[in-house]
Amino acid sequence: MSDWTDIGAAAELDASQRLEGDVDGYRVRVVRVSGTLYAFEDRCTHDDSPFEDAPIEDCEIICPRHGARFCIRTGAALTAPAYEPVATLPVRVENGVIQVRDNRWD
């Protein structure tokens, strides 16, 4: 089972609305939507682009490169040109620090 990895201060996320980090060699992104934290691999499944500065509408993130939409809660690909989901990851706050764990190979 992988360990929890510190991504950043919860207060930092409140200011920027999104954080990025590295968990077990994978880029991850953490966002807060309607008060809930979500973490997912920062790699669009269409062509591997990061979601840097990607717009968020409701609970969907829109890839800035070709416009595919993904559900932030589930990772599901909602529109072409992406068809595969992005990996969503467990996220928690411990003593004011946001932590993410990659549980895909537990």
Gyration radius from the chain CA atoms: 13
Among 86, 97, 83, 90, CA closest to 9: 97
Q: How far is the CB of 39 from ligand FES (least distance, A)?
A: 18
Interacting span for ligand FES (CB under 6 A) from 15-23, 27-35, 60-68, 88-96: 60-68
Told to check if 86 binds ligand FES by CB under 6 A, we report no
Please tell me what DSSP assigns to residue 16: H
Residues facing residue 33 across a β-bridge = 36
- 11-45 in b/e form (b: 16+ CB < 10 A) is eebeeeebbbbebeeeebbbbbbeeebbbbbbbbb
Q: How far is the CB of 6 from ligand FES (least distance, A)?
A: 28
Rule CB under 6 A: choose which of 39, 71, 82, 91 binds ligand FES: 82
Rule CB under 6 A: choose which of 19, 37, 44, 91 binds ligand FES: 44
Told to check if 43 binds ligand FES by CB under 6 A, we report no
Rounded to an integer, what distance in angstroms lies between the CA atom of residue 82 and that of residue 12?
Answer: 30
Told to check if 61 binds ligand FES by CB under 6 A, we report no
For binding to ligand FES (CB under 6 A), which residues are involved?
44, 46-47, 49, 63, 65-68, 81-82
